[in-house]
Structure 1
Amino acid sequence: MNQPLFAPSLDLGVIGNSSSAALIDRNGSIVWMCAPRMDGDPVFCSLLGEGPDKPPGDGGRWSISLRNVATSEQRYLRNTAILETVLTDHDGNRLRITDFAPRFKANGRIFRPQTIVRLVEPVEGAPRIQVDLRPRHGYGAQEPETTRGTNHIRFLLGGQVLRMTTDAPVEFVERRTPFLLDRPCAFILGPDERLTQAPLHTARAFLEETENYWREWVRYLSLPIDFQDVVIRSAITLKLCSHEETGGIVAALTTSIPEYGQSGRTWDYRFCWLRDSYFTVKALNLLGATKTMEDYLGYVSNIAADSPDGYLQPLFGLGLERLLDERIVGDLPGYRGYGPVRSGNAAYTQVQNDGYGSVILSIMQCFFDERLPVMGGEALFGRLEPLGDQAFARWDQSDAGIWEFRTRNGVHTHSAMMCWAACDRLARIAVKLGLDSRAAHWCQRADIIRAGILERAWNEGMKSFVSSFGGADLDASLLLMPEIGFLPAQDPRFLSTLAACEAHLRFGNHLYRYRAPDDFGEPETAFTACTFWLIDALTRVGRKEDARAIFADVLKHRNHLGLLSEGLHVESGELWGNFPQTYSMVGLINAAMHLSRRWEDVL
């Protein structure tokens, strides 16, 4: 068996259809895919299963490898979520792998099956390939029972069955026997259902329809004149992180990619954080892709309906699950052997008071946007008011904060600001609906919170706002004050806070979220979303050239397909943390929109 051309890294591509998603490395191997949902059991998990004590291929993966491979080229088909990998061997033989998840309009709805299609074609010469299809279940612990038919292999994976149907020789696939690729072959992995047509015909039909769908979707985005490729790739990636059936949005597609090395900071991000979802919805709304907001409205409406007193936990499962118990997975060594690998996230038990503002901010547009088929009215406003009541009750109460500290709480400035935002936006919505008494009520509450923050979060000795009331530490969320609307960017207090954050948190062109030691010591990587918050703040205060220089540096640190993870190791420039991180992809969109020239200045 060939050794991989590339060692495990975050040089990964994402394919998906807002139902299923998979990560593919530069060798053309699927190294991560969960089923039946994006937060489910990883069917392919070699991204976390090929540590120093495990040989390549021992973990769950699906590789289509070229014998004696020499080079790999990889790209997305223009304006799509379709990934193309071209492998060339030492003798010049070449093949192309086209990977995608079907997504297109059919019979009056979006067809998005939990299916992955792999189309493999000879390009030059006589390539000889080996197909290694080894799904797992139980988080890598168990091999599935299999049965085979004339054109398919069935895999019993715990409580689910997947079927791989192909027009390649099933014998060669089952035994991982190398064979000559003398004609195109299709591999379709999905539900245990028979295809109505030949695999190659089905694959090509799905490919054409899926390519047309994505190009049409991109066509209606409201793009800036500059950085269009950056925005398009980011928008598609955010769309792939949404679970359209329920409206939930995962923070990332992976679990347990460490923030850096042996830090122990390995968290499961395959859930819907109210905070992260707000940023994702806002970025897509900015581009005119409002359907994700409409779906998310249904998601949070269900959450609110199940929370009659308005209390919100910070995160939920994609199916609205509330219990997301965290456990260590012992059968996977972790990314590059850096564990532990975790399933679930104990942060769901935390108190994080910024969620009330996050929900209201994320769906506020539906009260004002006349393009929407159904706009928000008094009924929806009534469902949001209990969230405002919680925000007002909690704005000066201790919580774990935006960074989810596990062993210490405080009255965090960002949480208080988001509570203010909840009340402030409810007042604005009430004005729009003509509910004068409710507008006055929420305006009064917002004023009380704002006055309290200005008094208690300001450190006169430091001439800066600080992370928590009465404290002396800084964190990057303070840079969001103008973004949230709490203070104008030119306010002297914000300008001095920006200067303090740059002095203490900025290293070169990258920003740490904070520098004070936490439960695991001092952070070792810059948090990419925070770097984008710095870009936004600099743009708002008129330092556009500084912002452009930072943005140019961040763009250089994307992977070869234009994607970003959670963080960046400043010294090495290497990506670390869960992938792809919606926070980071949102930042790319926001920065591009703010820094681009205007259309009217060019045309």
Structure 2
Amino acid sequence: MKKEIVLSNGKFFINIDKDLAIRDFYFPYVGMYNHLNSQANSIGVWTGGKFRWIDDSWQKSFDYYENSLVAKLQAISEELQIKLDFTTAIHKYSDILIHKVKVTNLSMEKQDFKVFFYHCFRLNESEIGNTAYYDPKLKGLIHYKGATYIYISSEGLEYEYTVSKKNHETGAWKEIESGKLLKTKIMQGEIDSAWGVKGELLPLESKEFFYYILVGKRYEDIVNLKRKVEREGLQHLLEETDEYWKGWIKTKDRLLPSLSKDLKNQYYRSLLIIRSHFDNEGAVVAANDTSIYKFNKDHYSYLWPRDGAFICMTLDNAGYTNLTQKFYKFCKKHITEEGYLLHKYSPDGTAGSSWHPWCDEDENYQLPIQEDETALVIFALYNHYINSKDIEFIDMMYNGFVRKAANFMVNYTDPNTNLPLESYDLWEERRGVFTYTASTVYAGLLSASKLAYLVGNKEEGLIYEEKAEKIREGILKYLYDEESGRFLRGIYQDKNGNIIKDKTLESSLLLIHEFGVVDPEDYRMINTVKAIEEGLWIKEGIGGLARYENDYYHRVSDNVPGNPWIITTLWLANWYTEVGLFDKTFSLLNWVLKRKTQAGLLAEQYNPFTGEPLSVCPLTWSHSSFCYSVQKLNKKLIQQKIPEYVE
């Protein structure tokens, strides 16, 4: 189930689904730990002797306030003649979730009502050993286990509550459906709870109340947050959060006024979605949508250094260089002594799950890495310097990260081909020597060379520069195929050392010019782009570009090469921008705008026929790719002084 709203302050993160239920609840990291694990903290309404959960029988809408991470949600029940309007946010830095709720009686009769909030927390990702109780001093419910405390309360109207043992026959959900909570005081084990707010409405009357959640690692944290709420007021906390996010966008606005409002609004929204997935300790989480659980009992709540590098290039281009330094420091802290980054990381810096083996079929040792993930961080770091001019930070990163990673890349090459040794492709599916990966290593070493010269290490700078040029020569010799007139996906070597060409059409080849291997208008690049667009564009259906021929991931039909992805489609848009075909760039950007949800979220990929989001939604990389494409277009329009856009 795709998510409709994401909210975060860089430490506390939630997802809200199509029924206004909180589905994912992360603390104390963005992406770790999930105290719901896709269980629904649902909302229901009782009035006139009837109870209904908010579900498909309700009319619902989802949006954010302009340039803000404050959400506005609405749910209307024709059957109950009730309308609920929510203003919802996580405070900008305090771990406080606020729902400001307006209940409206749509009927011409007086109505008593109750709004119920259900809680199915599995603290620290387990139903074992949980406790929930009513705290009479703080006047709210507390769920706790270990170093996780969650407090629930409300302001403005009368309330009731309960805690209960949970199973398929009984629980707080059962009490909610009866319309009356039993005020049970404490329960432990596998439990749930409920909070109810009640009032009376005259015909067409509205009333407001606040429902809020505080999160901490200790009971004292909850006490301190409760004092903050009482001292400053929930309305003030909402308003200052809205103003903060508006300022976060406004201070970095660099787009041409002449770009369309829809394009600019999605650009700002995407920057905010990216920020919501950026943990304060430096991990940029790929996605926090646990609907992916059902496919492989895993999730996307990890930092892939590749994704992080691309995302931080976008943020640096937008001016958020102080924020991205957290990511670069994270990589510096966790790079191995040998000089490479692992497949992926949990937000706390521990190694993420992986399916890349440490040996081949004959049990010979091999590195289970994707080398582009190491190379791209250096590439992004040089881009960071271009935007920040922070030489002190670069000097620190050079000594702690760049030298180590660059030396690894210099040594991890085949002396016969001058190409990088085998590693896994960016899609994490196959091991070989790939054109995309080799191009990132070329760009990474060239960037390392520039950074070395910048901080006074000329000898190392020369070594990295010379190695980069040798790799480029190897790419053009072994990875460009004269017979087909385009770049190969990659090559493999059999046990006898024979080279096997992989001619599969592959979208990542669209990035070769981005890494400087060839110019965008080089005939080899043009031929490759033409072949990719012809072979991977979805011709019957919604359009968009597939990853590669016969892509199996979430495949819905054998009549298309694969599902269209946001990132791959925008890689094509970026090439059009580079060669000055701006009409085609705008067309592809508008294709992306048609894919967004009501609230502006972008999925990883889409059903090629229906346009339904597939896999996770939102995907952080999709949002950063959109911003990057807009940035590239904006810059090119200014450079070329296109009269329709530049005065």
Name the TM-score, length of structure 2 as normaliser. Answer: 0.78
Instruction: Quote the Cα distance in structure 1 between the aligned partners of 2:389 and 2:466.
Output: 31
Query: Are the counterparts in 2 of residues 136 and 143 from structure 1 also a CA contact under 8 Å?
Result: no
| Counterpart contact for 2:91–2:238, Cα < 8 Å | yes
- Structure 2 residue ranges without an equivalent (≥5): 164-174, 181-195, 201-206, 356-365, 413-418, 492-500
RMSD: 2.9
Contact conserved, 2:448 with 2:464, CA < 8 A, in 1?
yes
Aligned residues: 545
Superposition pairs of residues 16-95 of structure 1, within 5 angstroms: 16-46=8-38, 59-63=39-43, 65=45, 70-90=58-78, 92-95=81-84
Which residue of the partner structure matches residue 118 of structure 1?
99
CA deviation after TM superposition for structure 1 residue 378, in Å: 6.8
**Pair 1:237 & 2:256 matched:** no
Residue 602 of structure 1: CA displacement? 4.7
2:473 is matched with 451
Matches within 5 A, 1:117-196: 117-123=98-104, 128-137=114-123, 139=125, 141=127, 144-150=130-136, 151-157=139-145, 160-167=148-155, 169-172=158-161, 175-176=175-176, 177=180, 179-180=198-199, 182-191=207-216, 192=219, 193-194=222-223, 195-196=226-227
**Residue equivalent to 1:51:** none
Partner residue in 1 for 2:422: 398
3-state SS of the aligned residue for 2:423?
A: coil
Deviates more, 1:479-488 or 1:358-367: 358-367
> Is contact 1:75-1:561 (8 Å) kept?
yes
The 5 Å alignment of 1:177-576 reads: 177=180, 179-180=198-199, 182-191=207-216, 192=219, 193-194=222-223, 195-196=226-227, 202-225=233-256, 226=259, 227-244=263-280, 246-255=281-290, 257=292, 264=295, 267-304=298-335, 307-322=336-351, 324=353, 350-370=368-388, 372=390, 374-377=392-395, 380-381=398-399, 383-394=401-412, 395-405=419-429, 408-469=430-491, 470-508=501-539, 509-516=543-550, 524-576=562-614
Distance 1:357 1:98, change over 3 A: same
| Range that drifts further, 160-169 or 15-24 | 160-169
Asked if 1 retains the 8 angstrom alpha-carbon contact of 2:576 and 2:584, the reply is yes
| Partner-residue secondary structure (3-state), 2:213 | strand
Q: CA deviation at 1:518?
A: 6.1
Which deviates more from structure 2 when the two are superposed, residues 63-72 or residues 430-439?
A: 63-72
Check the 8 A contact 2:550/2:562 in 1, yes or no: no
Closer/same/farther in 2, CA of residues 311 and 255 from structure 1, 3 Å limit: same
- Give me the whole-angstrom Cα distance separating, in 2, the residues matched to 1:28 and 1:13: 9
Is the 8 Å Cα contact of residues 13 and 25 (structure 1) preserved in structure 2?
yes
The structure-2 alpha-carbon separation of the partners of 1:420 and 1:349, relative to structure 1 and needing over 3 Å to count, comes to closer
For structure 1, which segment, 158-167 or 234-243, has the greater mean C-alpha deviation from structure 2 after superposition?
A: 158-167
Q: Is the 8 A contact 1:369 1:375 kept in 2?
A: no
Is the Cα contact below 8 Å between 1:248 and 1:296 reproduced in 2? Answer: yes
Q: Residue 170 and residue 143 in structure 1: after superposition, are their counterparts in 2 closer, same or farther (change >3 A)?
A: farther
| SS at structure 1 position matched to 2:512 | helix
* TM-score of the superposed pair, with normalisation by structure 1: 0.83
Cα distance, 1:364 vs. partner? 1.6
Question: Residue 327 of structure 2: SS of its match in structure 1?
Answer: helix
8 A contact 2:86–2:102 mirrored in 1: yes
Deviations 1:383-405 (A, max 9, x none): 41121122123343111110101
Which has more radius of gyration?
Answer: 2
Secondary structure of the 1:452 match is: helix
CA separation of 1:371 and 1:546: change in aligned 2, threshold 3 A: same
Give the superposition deviation at 1:144: 3.5
**Partner SS state of residue 419, structure 1:** helix
Q: 1:26 to 1:518 in 2, by over 3 A?
A: closer
Determine if contact 1:465/1:497 at 8 Å carries over to the other structure: yes
One-letter amino acid of the structure 2 residue matched with residue 584 of structure 1:
S
Percent identical residues: 19
8 A contact 1:368–1:375 mirrored in 2: no
- For residues 443-471 of structure 1, what are the alpha-carbon distances to aligned partners after superposition, in whole Å with 9 as ceiling and x for unaligned? 11111100001111112221110111232
State the AA in 1 paired with 2:94. Answer: P
Q: Note if contact 1:511-1:530 (Cα within 8 Å) is conserved in structure 2.
A: yes
Q: CA deviation at 1:536?
A: 0.9
Whole-angstrom distance in 2 between the partners of 1:289 and 1:379:
18
1:410 maps to a residue whose letter is G
Q: What amino acid is aligned across from residue 199 of structure 2 in structure 1?
A: L
Q: Could you tell me how far apart the structure 2 residues matched to 1:65 and 1:538 are?
A: 52
- 3-state secondary structure, aligned to 2:116: strand
- Shift of residue 531, structure 1, vs aligned partner: 1.0
Instruction: Give, in angstroms, the shift of residue 64 of structure 1.
Output: 5.4
Tell me how far 1:549 sits from its aligned partner: 1.7
Q: Distance in 2 between matches of 1:474 and 1:377?
A: 40
What's the CA shift string for 1:420-442, capped at 9, x where partnerless? 11211112223333443332221
Aligned counterparts of 1:161 and 1:399: Cα–Cα separation in 2:
43
* Amino acid across the alignment from 2:89: F
